[in-house]
Amino acid sequence: MRKSLSKVITPVLALSLFGTILAGCGGGGNNDGASSSNSGSSTNSTTGTVKLKGIMLKHPLTQEFSKMEWLTKVEEQVGVDIEWQEISADWDQKKGALLAGGDIPDILIGPNVITDADFAQFTGLFQDLTELISTGGPNIQQMFTEKPETQLIATQLDGKIYGLPKYQRFWPDTVSRQYINKQWLDNLGLKEPTNWDELYNVLLAFKEKDANGDGDVNDEIPMDFAPVGTTGFGYFQPQILLGSLGITLTDSSGQGYFTEGGQIKNYFVDDRYKQFVEFMNKCWQAGLINPEAFTQDYSKFQSVARGSGDKAKVGFSWGWEVTDRFGNTLAPQYESIAPLKVSADSNIKLSYDYDGNSLNFGGNMVVMSAKSKNKEAAMKFINELYNPTVSMQVLFGSLGTNIKDNGDGSYAVLPPADSQMDPGTWKWTSTWADNGPTFISDSLKLTLGTDMQSVGKQTEPLQAVLSAIDKDNDILPSMFIKYNPEDNNAMVLVNTNMINLAMSKFSQWVTKGGVTKEWDSYVSNIKQMGLDNNLSTMQKYYDDYKSKK
């Protein structure tokens, strides 16, 4: 999976999960930088075609826009000719200079391409789309009607709409599935673990009993997880185990915040987090965790899991999809397993990491310059992107090459033309994919590709727990809550200081121990940073959000 999210993800997830790795790839014969003098669209007096300028944040894999048949057809259909700047690296740096200069193109597209903070800082630079949607945005209106959440995401505190969202419908309730090597279990006559104690014993057997059967008892890695950095937890990392203790994560809860019974809390100061850290330290001391877990980059994390030939290296880990995590050769050795209880006799209600909102919705996917001289033409183009059959192609590629029209009003995602290419890479190579604005209506009849079908199948062991989560009271709806700049800035300062301490202590406590001895002073230090103020502010906004649902 390659999906873009504007949230804390540690580390940058290479080319395997999230498509916002904006690292060097030019395209379309256009430059890969955000140049000045971008505004000032024009009309071709001969053809009547309106010339516009646009910036799009694309994945490094994505082909030149001139090769995208669906995009060419959309531009022709609505009567525009867009000069694209295809940006795949250093957008934050380029954006800063662009906005400071005050000269932006007619449209900008990409995940959170312009942030709410940018709207607040650069007033007058971006077009309020409210009236344009009313007069020339029927597809956007349909999206707002079918999925009211999208209008909530788009609307600023003052009621204006500067950035439009996306809805892509098909993604599961969680990013992370947890995998165990079933072949290793069978080799050693072991059963699939159901709780932390059993997991520990299984991992110990993986380490000591030559689980992969190659005669070397030292080449197995019982547990591995995506490298944990200094800016908060991310996906495929072990804080998922907090679900065993009844804590529901939302979008990995990278900064510790979660909701429990309608109350905003932070697990970094929760005694259950201490219990989790103690278990991780126990595993580390026994040599059950990859010794490079805190130092490897994401590429290494992925490559190690793919082993050597048909010999696996990793016993237990987290990932998006089994072939994405372990490769086609080793994937059959692994199975997805259900959330673990903390102990056999635990009666704690299990939970997990719920990511359904962030996987299927996105904010500020497309914005318009207030200085555009052809706002109606720009809106015609934007509105057409939200035509569900066009959105389908934005997400998966053009009809004919990437999607089959079955002729009966239904469609099917086609396998890659290159049999050696996986479906995720095919998608990201062919089109804007998750980086584009989309409205995949629930009424659209589309059969997904094998990769997404596989994700659904591998989510089944988790589904009972995910479905039982109280989505009204135990999920933090961060995507749908907007803070005023003053409150947001105050919280950011507290969070920065808190995360610096919490993440350094996590790596220290896991590898060297000491959490029990240092816990009280650590909690006191975090609270002195202003955590309680953040919790109070978030609770106020959360309660206001719920009151308006």
Give the domain ranges of the chain: 42-171+360-391, 478-547
Which pLDDT score, from 0 to 100, does residue 47 have?
65
pLDDT bucket at 43, cuts 50 / 70 / 90: low
DSSP 375: H
Q: Which amino acid is at 203?
A: L
| C-alpha dihedral, 252 to 451 to 220 to 228, nearest 10° | -20
pLDDT for 174 beyond 90: yes
CA distance 244 to 273: 11
pLDDT bucket at 28, cuts 50 / 70 / 90: very low
Cβ atoms of 378 and 39 closer than 8 Å: no
Tell me the mean pLDDT in the region 198-206. Answer: 98
CA distance 293 to 447: 38
CA distance 3 to 20: 7
User: Token pair for residue 181?
Assistant: 């090597």
Q: Average pLDDT, whole number, for the chain?
A: 91
Tell me the mean pLDDT in the region 389-399. Answer: 98
DSSP-assigned states of every residue in 58-85: --TTPPPGGG-HHHHHHHHHHTEEEEEE
Spatial CB neighbours of 315, under 8 Å, sequence gap ≥ 6: 180, 181, 184, 202, 203, 206, 211, 220, 221, 222, 223
Which pLDDT score, from 0 to 100, does residue 308 have?
87
CA distance 375 to 358: 30
pTM of the model: 0.85
Which pLDDT score, from 0 to 100, does residue 420 have?
78
Beta-carbon neighbour count of residue 199 at 10 Å? 24
pLDDT for 20 beyond 70: no
pLDDT bucket at 6, cuts 50 / 70 / 90: very low
Which pLDDT score, from 0 to 100, does residue 48 have?
81
Bridging pattern class, strands 163-167 and 445-447: unpaired
CATH 3.40.190.10 fits 42-171+360-391, yes or no: yes
User: Token pair for residue 93?
Assistant: 């740096």
pLDDT bucket at 23, cuts 50 / 70 / 90: very low
pLDDT for 73 beyond 70: yes
pLDDT for 538 beyond 80: yes
- Tens-digit pLDDT profile for residues 329-378: 999 999 999 999 999 999 999 999 999 999 999 999 999 999 999 999 99
Which pLDDT score, from 0 to 100, does residue 451 have?
87
Cβ atoms of 165 and 482 closer than 8 Å: no
Best CA proximity match to 458, nearest among 220, 182, 186: 182
pLDDT for 412 beyond 60: yes
